């Protein structure tokens, strides 16, 4: 099993997720799945050009019956992943 970094959510992300979760409770599962993935393989995200320290974007995939896509922007070190921004978009899956 891969080494798992500690995942830290910036306060703005925590507040955003809490607000969105009230509207759509399954968002919690989507967030936890993305956290699990980037804690173990942070390089999976798309690098954001021109950022220092380097930031990455990762998106959840659309899966019925969850009609949304969660996008996270984060940076990482050897021991931590810091999620700096989050966005939720509805997606038709098509």
Integer angstrom CA distances of residue 52 from 15, 41, 49, 60: 25, 20, 9, 24
- pLDDT higher at 28 or 8: 8
Domain spans, the chain: 6-90
Residue 12 near residue 87, CB atoms below 8 Å: no
Residue 94 pLDDT greater than 70, yes or no? no
Distance CA 33, CA 60 (A): 8
Residue 74 near residue 42, CB atoms below 8 Å: yes
Over the stretch 18-70, which tens digit does the pLDDT of each residue have? 999 898 888 888 899 999 999 999 999 999 999 999 999 999 886 656 678 99
Distance CA 16, CA 84 (A): 11
Q: Quick one: pLDDT at residue 90?
A: 79
């Amino acid at each position: 099993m891969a080494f798992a970094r500690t995942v830290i959510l910036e306060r703005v992300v925590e507040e955003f997720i809490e607000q969105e979760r009230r509207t759509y409770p399954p968002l919690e599962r989507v967030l936890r799945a993305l956290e699990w993935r980037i804690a173990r393989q942070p390089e999976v995200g798309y690098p954001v050009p021109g950022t220092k320290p380097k930031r990455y974007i990762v998106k959840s995939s659309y899966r019925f019956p969850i009609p949304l896509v969660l996008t996270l922007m984060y940076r990482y070190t050897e021991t931590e992943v810091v999620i700096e921004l989050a966005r939720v978009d509805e997606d038709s899956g098509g």
